[in-house]
Structure 1
Amino acid sequence: MSVILPISALLILFAIGIPVAFCIFLATLSYFLINNHLPMIMLVQRLAGGLDSVTLLAIPFFVMAGVFMNHSGISQRLLKFSEVLTGHMNGGLAQVNVVLSTLMGGLSGSNIADAAMNSKLLVPQMVVRGYSASFSSAVTAASSLITPIIPPGIALIIYGYVNNVSIGKLFLAGVVPGIMLCVMMMILVSIISKKRGYTPIREKRAPVSEVLVSAKDAFLALLLPVVIIGGIRAGVFTPTEAGAVAVLYALLLGMFVYKQMNTRLLWDATKESVLSSANVLLIICMAVGFSKFLTWERAPQELATWLTGTVESPLTFLLLVNLFLLIIGMFLEGNAVMIVLAPLLAPVAHSYGIDPVHFGIVFIFNSAIGTITPPLGTVMFTTCSITKVSIEDFVKEVLPFWLLLLLALLMLTYIPEISIGLPNLIFS
């Protein structure tokens, strides 16, 4: 009863639309109310302790770096570079959308931020060029799901902190899956565009000289993920310190290299960063308190004992976890799913001998799929609200992408080398 009541309260509060942070807080509060021998001051201490971590500083740092990049002309340079690379392909502007999401994912760290930016930047251009608004929205939303697993995705930092997994290894583990998803989506976009007659935006492939010129303009922006991962691997700085380096790097680019960020834009970008960071950190603060009482009640251990006694194969366990997360993801926000459920499922995965980095990538990507899935997908609602596309039309167009994402999820789940191959190579 000590566990069932708070978890039931959490699900009910989610279902009626209470903001995520307050859902988790009220569920945790209910545990302390039914266990009145626990002093209420302990709840306050657990919540305050949830943010007492140097590791969590990486979140506001990387959020700020991404916002600074968006205000400094980086997105326009990456857009031009993407056009030069893919403009000659079938569905040229849709291909640009996918590539830009992949490139910006390494800078913004947030799939919602990426979807919102491309909805404003590219969808209007795609509609003018003859693409349907619903297809344009579907491409934008689906390609933004590359962002959570491309370093330095905020989800990677949160998962590493909550489950005590190396954030540096998680960063590396997301590189190959991110590129794989980009290629798979480009192939699907090409097939759909060819059937519908969505023409390229360039008559022929760009000459090498033009590619080099556009690459030169975008080079400093593209260098950021390399600096971050390289610095962490070389031991120059920790993942947290890498966030501070990213902020400084973005600020120098915006104000002194590209000279597109002035004092007013700097102030606006700072306010946007603070609000975005506060939203994520408040959820984490509440979730740490929630996970504490689950640990006190030995919920992870009990779940692990039950599963290992019922399910013998780790492959079957992974299949059940994927099905469970896909269903839960239709109703709950991605970060909430990860923060609440990952501490429960990660120890069970470990008991099956599943690599924690591999399980982390599978979990994060699975949670991301729910953001474009009805009825409560956050990226779906963000994209449709900006592009003014109905949910019904969006769902019809996003279905092929959803099937592709499920295929990618199966590949990530049952071919661990896709995610852990690079970390094992670099950290060996």
Structure 2
Amino acid sequence: MTLVILAFVVLLVMGLPVAFAIAGAAAMFFFQNPSLPFTIPAQQTITQTQNFALLAIPLFVLAGNLMNHTGLTRRLLDLVTALLGHFRGGLAQASLALSAMMGGVSGSAIADASMQARMLGPEMIARGVPKAHTAAILSFGSILTPIIPPGIGMILYGTIGQVSIGQLFAAGIIPAMFLWAALAAAVAIQARRGDWAPERARRLAPRELPGVLGAGFWALLFPVILLLGLRSGLFTPSEIGALAVIYALLVGLVVFRELSARGFGMAMSDTLADIGSVMLLISVSASLSYAMILERVPETLAGYIAGLPGGMEVVMLVAVLGVILAGFVIDATVLIIMLTPILLPMMRSLGADPVHFGIVFIIAASVGNSTPPVGAAMYSVCSILGCPVGSYARASVLLLLAIALVTCLLVFLPGIVLFLPSVLI
């Protein structure tokens, strides 16, 4: 297995796309074991695409892309700007709130970061927020997106680990609010140090609140429908994804009447591009996961980590630190696909709740989207805004510290994560 891991690292360093690096490493394993039929990789790849639960991913991505072309995202921005624009760096605070709300719309951190970089980035810079801080805030704010239902990471983790996706959806809400509060506090510190200007001259008057909330009503309603549908047992995660697409079409065609034929075509095109990359990763990872299970990698790793002094929380903290470090060089989606079969059985054997560990694990994996050297959200934002990665990294230290503190809190206080699933699901 050592040569397989080495092949994967070498292929990554050579600049090969991650999916092809995974496929190459898996091929190396089967070349090393000629007694195994070489039809197994093909079978594993095809079988992985037949998983009905994974149908939720393209459906939620399509729903999110449709909503971006209905005017719903713009109305959400107006809502959060009205509520938070009077703070220093009001647009920066509004971007975090928009990320929290966009979790119930797009489910994709990279899509959220890219959209906000185009929509808010130039405006934040024009209002005195340094370019590096603008890029860091927009990138790290997108970490909220996969934690709020319907996050794609939750669907992957739940499908691979046989964990209730409905419980994961409910469990992500309170931790996301904690992350939002921590990031907002970090931005407030940066804004005070940099004397960033507010977006609005005054706080929103109480008489203006009903009109502002009304404008964002249809966006705020979607997560409620999602959770109620799962809680009542009317829909499976895949079926609720189909409902999300229907909801997006109704909002765009009937409520706002802003979804044009061109917008629909762009939403379909964006969805095909997003889903193509995700499903390719899922498919080729099946063979590598098969190899790891056959070589008993999960059991071996579990033996090493479980031997650490301390309780289950210490082991989880070490596992989370390892995931964050791995995220510096491996995409979050790949981490979830590759490490769930390894880490989840280990944590279950130590008595950890799979929903609790899943939320902490997804947060840790998502950090890699915003950290050098391979963070996809980071590169997307820096490319759009023309920001050097070095400047970005220096500006993101406080934001990374805020996320680390919340992650540690969630590890040692599982009740924060498990409260809503115990009540709703």
Q: Given the two structures, how large is their TM-score scaled by the length of structure 1? A: 0.96
Partner of 1:263: 261
**Residue number among 23, 26, 46 corresponding to 2:24 in the alignment:** 26
**Residue number among 321, 324, 330 corresponding to 1:323 in the alignment:** 321
1:9-408 matches, cutoff 5 A = 9-311=7-309, 313-408=311-406
Structure 1 position 301, deviation (Å): 2.4
In structure 1, what is the Cα distance between the partners aligned to 2:311 and 2:274?
A: 41
In structure 1, what is the Cα distance between the partners aligned to 2:239 and 2:310?
A: 42
Partner of 2:3: 5
Secondary structure class of the residue paired with 2:35? coil
Secondary structure class of the residue paired with 2:372? coil
In structure 2, what is the Cα distance between the partners aligned to 1:160 and 1:37?
A: 33
Structure 1 stretch displaced more, 38-47 or 397-406: 38-47
- Asked if the contact 1:50–1:289 (Cα under 8 Å) also holds between the matched residues in 2, the reply is no
Structure 1 position 233, deviation (Å): 0.8
Paired residue type of 2:360? V
In structure 1, what is the Cα distance between the partners aligned to 2:378 and 2:417?
A: 26
Structure 1 stretch displaced more, 110-119 or 3-12: 3-12
Structure 1 position 335, deviation (Å): 1.1
Paired residue type of 1:79? L
In structure 2, what is the Cα distance between the partners aligned to 1:33 and 1:348?
A: 29
Uncovered stretches (5+) of structure 1, i.e. residues with no partner: none
Aligned Cα root-mean-square deviation (Å): 1.4
In structure 2, what is the Cα distance between the partners aligned to 1:235 and 1:326?
A: 35
- Asked if the contact 1:65–1:108 (Cα under 8 Å) also holds between the matched residues in 2, the reply is yes
Structure 1 position 322, deviation (Å): 2.1
In structure 2, what is the Cα distance between the partners aligned to 1:202 and 1:410?
A: 35
Paired residue type of 1:12? V
1:95-135 deviation digits (Å, cap 9, x = unpaired):
11111111112211011111001100001111111221111
- Asked if the contact 2:45–2:286 (Cα under 8 Å) also holds between the matched residues in 1, the reply is yes
In structure 1, what is the Cα distance between the partners aligned to 2:143 and 2:355?
A: 19
% identical equivalent positions: 37
1:266-314 deviation digits (Å, cap 9, x = unpaired):
1121111112111101101111221122222222223323433455621
1:421 counterpart = 2:419: yes
- Asked if the contact 2:308–2:315 (Cα under 8 Å) also holds between the matched residues in 1, the reply is no
- Asked if the contact 1:88–1:200 (Cα under 8 Å) also holds between the matched residues in 2, the reply is yes
In structure 1, what is the Cα distance between the partners aligned to 2:282 and 2:352?
A: 25
Structure 1 position 17, deviation (Å): 2.0
1:357-389 deviation digits (Å, cap 9, x = unpaired):
111111110011122222222211111000001
Structure 1 stretch displaced more, 206-215 or 163-172: 206-215
1:171-208 deviation digits (Å, cap 9, x = unpaired):
01100011111122222222221222112222221122
Structure 1 stretch displaced more, 150-159 or 15-24: 15-24
In structure 1, what is the Cα distance between the partners aligned to 2:121 and 2:306?
A: 48
**Residue number among 408, 411, 414 corresponding to 1:410 in the alignment:** 408
Secondary structure class of the residue paired with 1:106? coil
Structure 1 position 25, deviation (Å): 1.2
In structure 1, what is the Cα distance between the partners aligned to 2:366 and 2:303?
A: 28
Paired residue type of 1:378? A
Structure 1 position 61, deviation (Å): 0.2
Structure 1 position 259, deviation (Å): 1.0
Q: Given the two structures, how large is their TM-score scaled by the length of structure 2? A: 0.97
Structure 1 stretch displaced more, 301-310 or 233-242: 301-310
Secondary structure class of the residue paired with 1:151? coil
In structure 2, what is the Cα distance between the partners aligned to 1:299 and 1:131?
A: 47
- Asked if the contact 1:134–1:394 (Cα under 8 Å) also holds between the matched residues in 2, the reply is yes
- Asked if the contact 1:15–1:331 (Cα under 8 Å) also holds between the matched residues in 2, the reply is no
In structure 2, what is the Cα distance between the partners aligned to 1:135 and 1:385?
A: 14
